[in-house]
Amino acid sequence: MIAGLKNDALYGREETPAPEALNVHGVNVVAGDAGRTARWLLEGLTLDEQGRWRRRRRVAFLNAGSANLAAADPFYRRLLSSFVVLNDGIGLDIAARWSHGRTFPANLNGTDFVPYLLGRSDRSLRIHLVGGRPGVAEAAARVLAERFPRHEIVGAQHGYFTGRETDEVVARVAESRADVLLVAMGNPVQERFVAAYFDDLDVGLAIGVGALLDFLSGRVSRAPHWMRRMRVEWVWRLAQEPRRLWSRYLVGNVVFLARTIRAPRS
């Protein structure tokens, strides 16, 4: 049973109201703390009397880089409107402060929030992983299984499958009867994949998790805690992979700040 719910509440209305949202560069982003947001998502992960999901949700994380992508790509921006979008990084706080005179209650980046979400569930969840280089999803699955023994890892698939193999991957996820699907393909590919195949995947919660599987597997190391507290983990990432990330962070952050300054203020 999910924490905080009575047995007879499982088929009733969700007890936790939907968190409010702040619009950042044309994308509505949840403005809730970690506890309330996790509780709201988990309360939807139950079945009704006909065995159907009460609430099927897809979750994305918006940071300065993906906000730039959404601003440049109207299709991607519209796609995100069908997701529960959570805030990732100090850039979103800067934009919220400029446009709305307030910041987000918490930094709900996928690397920290997804493990937190799994840890908050009293119910045993079936989890499927898709993404990363060959071997990464399997290594991440072992870490999750050790960290959260009450959950069951029902599949792990790398993200380097071809277009012809997509239907087979989707079918395997559906056959696994997963409650939660973690997709690590990077923006916007992971959101496009989830949106295109959401009905066929038949999961209750599909989350685009970016680099989470790389971090869990140990392929990429996380910044020290002091850098995370200061909200400058992007500097650590840039130092690790400068050739791949210099444009995203050095150019992208400037573009994001310039767009923020031009945004209307409420």
Measured torsion, CA atoms of residues 84, 89, 90, 95, in degrees rounded to the nearest 10 = -30
| Residue 14, domain member (yes or no) | no
List beta partners, residue 181.
128, 206
- Residue 246 placed within a domain: yes
For residue 5, tell me if it sits in a domain: no
Question: Has residue 8 been placed in a domain?
Answer: no
pLDDT at 219 over 60: yes
For residue 12, pLDDT beyond 80? no
User: How many C-beta atoms surround the C-beta of residue 153 within 10 A?
Assistant: 21
Element (H, E) at 72: helix 64-72
Whether 12 is covered by a domain: the verdict is no
Q: Distance between CA 188 and CA 80 in Å, rounded? A: 10
What local confidence, expressed as pLDDT, does residue 11 receive?
A: 34
Residue 7: pLDDT above 50? Answer: no
pLDDT attached to residue 114:
98
pLDDT confidence band for 14 (50 / 70 / 90): low
Is residue 7, in this structure, part of any structural domain at all?
no
Task: Tell me if 221 is assigned to some domain.
Answer: yes
Arithmetic mean of pLDDT over the chain: 90
127 falls within a domain? yes
- The beta strands (E) that lie in the chain are given as 21-24, 27-30, 57-62, 84-87, 126-131, 152-157, 180-184, 205-208
Q: Is 154 helix (H, G, I), strand (E, B) or coil?
A: strand
Across the beta sheet with 180-184, the strand order is: 84-87, 57-62, 205-208, 180-184, 126-131, 152-157
Work out the number of other CB atoms within 10 angstroms of the CB of residue 25.
21
* 54-71 burial code (b ≥16 CB/10 A, e <16): bebbbbbbbbbbbbbbbb
Task: Please measure the distance between the N-terminal and C-terminal CA atoms of the chain and give it in whole angstroms.
Answer: 42
User: Which positions ≥6 away from 181 have C-beta within 8 Å?
Assistant: 127, 128, 129, 130, 173, 194, 201, 203, 205, 206, 207
CB atoms within 10 A of CB 102: 12
Residues in the chain: 266
Query: For position 10, what pLDDT does the model report?
Result: 35
Q: Under DSSP, is residue 85 helix (H, G, I), strand (E, B) or coil?
A: strand
Structure tokens at 134: 């060959």
Structurally, the chain folds into a number of domains equal to: 1
pTM summary value = 0.90
Range of the domain at 196: 20-262
